[in-house]
Structure formats: C-alpha cells, structure tokens
Amino acid sequence: MKKLFFISFILFITSSQFAQVQDYELGADYQNGRRNVYGGYFDYSDQEAINIEVSVWGYAKYPGRYFIPDYTSVLDLISFVGGPTDDSNLDELRIYRVDENKREIMIPINYNDLMWEDNLQSKYRKVPKLQAGDILVIPGEPRLYSIDWLSIGVSLFLALVQLATLILTINDLK
C-alpha cells in the first residue's frame, strides 16, 4: 500500500511541470521611443501628415491601439503590429467602422486582396482606406501542437491513476 502511495506521489509531482504558465513577462516596456510592447499603445505618427488612431484586435503579435499616418495601408498596419500569429486566419480579416450616420459597418478583407491589390481588375477598391476609429480584427483560433496533446494526455492519465488510487484506498479501509 505504501508503495502505491509513493508511486502516486511521484506521478503527481512529475505532472505538475505541465501545469506551469508559459507566458511572457508582464509590464510595460518602452523601446526606442516608438513601441510600447506590453502596454497596447503604439505611436507611428508622422509629424508632416494627418494622423489617425486605429485599433488592432485578435491574432496579431502586438494587438492594441495604433497612432498612424492617414496614408497607412492595411498591409502596412499588419506590418506595424508585428504580423499575424501562427493561429490567425488571414482569409477573414475584418475592418469595423462607424459611419457618419452612427451605423456600424463590417468590411471583410481577404489577405489575397491585400497582396495583389495592384493587379485587381475591379473598378471598386476591395481594400478600403483606413479611417480614424477603425478596428482591424485578425480572426483565428488556437492550434494545439504535439507537445500540447502530450501534456493533455499525460494529465488525463495521471488524473485517472489518482482516481484509481483513491478508490483502492477507500476499498482497503472498509
């Protein structure tokens, strides 16, 4: 019985390494006078131009609020945010905007339209010009890699072992 408790204890201790948070350091870091990496506000303004404030939400490396020149394209903005993450879905980019009638408008954008905008044969622009207050949403969903599946599997297995140990212990006490 002691041997069973000892094995359960060792398995419990070894499983705790999978429960550790793997996150970056919290706090604000001001780098080169241009990028506040963890604070969510980024200033890429141009003193010679009109500047607007836009937001980027979703699966970008540095989502947040951006102060940019009005001539900035959506592709430039994606570059400013550090690019999309591995989990992003670039076929469904969206710009949310409030028009002059206070109506909310959602403008879908395909990444291919951004890359090949000069070659588009349509007389209408498929990629709109950014306006003040726009919100660029980069959708996506988390992907699990093999190490994640291994961690989940080991955690489930160890939970079942501990449950079995508990049941055996209760049966031995009767």
**Residue 97 has what pLDDT?**
92
CATH number at 64 reads: 3.10.560.10
Q: Residues 23-70: pLDDT tens digits?
A: 444 334 444 445 555 567 888 888 888 999 999 999 999 899 999 999
Q: Are residues 89 and 138 in the same domain?
A: yes
| Sheet hosting strand 35-36, strand order edge to edge | 30-31, 35-36, 41-43, 64-69, 51-58, 135-138, 93-98, 104-109
Do 127 and 166 belong to one domain?
Answer: no
DSSP string, 98-125: E-TTS-EEEEEE-HHHHHTGGG---SS-
3-state helix, strand, coil in the chain (%, to 5): 35, 25, 40
Q: Identify whether the C-beta of residue 38 lies closer than 8 Å to the C-beta of residue 29.
A: yes
Residues 100 and 70: their CA atoms lie apart, in Å, by 18
Residues 130 and 55 in one domain: yes
Give the per-residue pLDDT at 90.
84
Considering the domain architecture, whether residues 128 and 85 belong to the same structural domain is answered as: yes
Cα R_g (the chain), whole angstroms = 25
- Answer yes or no: is 49 within a domain: yes
Assigned domain for 56 exists: yes
How far, in Å, CA of 155 to CA of 161, rounded? 10
Q: Domain range for residue 125?
A: 23-142
Number of domains in the chain: 2
Q: Do 52 and 133 fall within a single domain?
A: yes
Summarize the confidence of residues 70-98 as an average pLDDT: 89
